[in-house]
Homo-oligomer: A and B are copies of this chain.
Amino acid sequence: MQAARLHKYDPSIPKQSLQIEDIPEPTIQGPMDVIVRIGAAGLCRTDIHIVEGQWAPITGMELPYVLGHENSGWVEEVGPGVTNVAPGDTVMVHPLITCGLCRACRAGDDMHCENSAFPGIDSDGGMAQLLRTSARSCVKLDPILQPKDIAALADAGLTAYHAVRKSVPHLYAGTKAVVIGAGGLGHIGIQCLKALTPAEIIVVDPNEKALALASEWGADQTVQVGDGYLDTIMEMTDGKGAEVVFDYVGERGAEDDAWKMTRRAGYHYVIGYGGTVEVPTIDIISSERNVIGNLVGTYNDLAELMILTAQGKVSLHTSTYPLDAVNDAIQDLNTGNLQGRGILIPEGAEA
């Protein structure tokens, strides 16, 4: 089958980051396995970080392997123990394969499953025609939904939703939320904030066009990154900072600014990554601020997000590429020329 594989880490993000090649199809190996025919695979900034080699020390993956951790499509084949989906079903694929037996899975924190796999990160992913996943990872969808319209919700959307859902107790009427980065994750985060909280939403981005779109998605105020923009945000928050700051960037200074614009007793949510949070302990304790890590969401989070999508409260802004143009998509994402989320369509995929 057609697949996009990484053969070499390269921090320069070369023009041919991935190779399009023909590889053997995945097969059912366990009773709960599910093979999904990919309708669409999302491209994520994490894919760039994988190409750069940032994830190598964490996953220890041997190259080459297929990237792609935002997948949606139709069930092709199921293992003998699978009862919740059947061939032909339209499905959203939760990015993690989880065991269902460990404490985390049983506690509703399946993203911390002690026996998980993360196809596209630590095993073959969905930038291909077929993907092997498990029954526990399939969210069955209404067949009228098109994978290309929703695939990017599988990870980017799910991560943005998960962070916003965790913040609900802190964002009551009268509070302010700052969203740093109105890109692929941020624009979903803005819509989720609007759907789940009455907070006033301030969106920060260097890109004027992104800010204009942010206003359409629900931003109450927008601030262009530039000299003195931090002062602007402090003024908008009565000199106190915001109750919750969502940093969807996590590098190039955003991680410092995020902390600075967090209010006393407030929360600095780290979602994007690449940089380093560096804060004197005296600042942490004297203001009782918190730094909150955010990983991808749970299966239930994904099911909830699908409901918000069905209700029209969340929609994706996408740019579509054929799978064999994945390297163009990567370049566009890396140079800031990709608006919304990049979606890759394998050869022959159709609704």
Contact = CB atoms under 8 A, between A and B. Distances in A.
A64 interface: no
A330 B85 CA distance: 46
Nearest to A249: B281
B276 A81 contact: no
A272 B280 CA distance: 11
A172 B273 CA distance: 28
Interface stretch (A14-22, A293-301, A336-344): A293-301
A144 interface: no
Contacts of A303: 103, 174
Given A270-B284, A281-B272, A313-B198, A307 B264 contact: no
A112 B273 contact: no
A158 B147 CA distance: 44
A212 interface: no
A10 B295 CA distance: 44
A196 interface: yes
Contacts of A32: 81
A180 B343 CA distance: 45
Contact of A274 (B172, B264, B271, B282): B282
A168 B167 CA distance: 12
Contacts of A298: 106
B276 A174 contact: no
Contact of A173 (B31, B58, B251, B304): B304
A136 interface: yes
B274 A277 contact: no
A270 B274 contact: no
Q: Which has the most chain B C-beta neighbours within 10 Å: A135, A264, A294? A: A264
A112 B255 CA distance: 24
A277 B319 CA distance: 39
Contact of A106 (B54, B108, B250, B282): B108
A285 interface: yes
Interface string A101-134: 1011111111110000000000000000000000
Contacts of A168: 168-169
Contact of A107 (B31, B275, B281, B300): B300
A308 interface: yes
Given A103-B300, A173-B305, A196-B197, 19 more contacts: A31-B80, A58-B286, A100-B101, A106-B299, A165-B172, A174-B304, A198-B308, A198-B311, A265-B293, A272-B285, A273-B280, A276-B278, A277-B280, A277-B281, A277-B291, A284-B291, A285-B295, A287-B295, A288-B293
Top 10 closest pairs, chain A to chain B, by CB: A108-B108, A273-B281, A173-B304, A291-B291, A250-B281, A288-B293, A288-B295, A284-B293, A174-B307, A273-B282
13 contacts: A84-B101, A100-B101, A103-B300, A168-B168, A255-B281, A272-B281, A272-B285, A273-B282, A276-B281, A277-B279, A285-B294, A286-B295, A288-B293
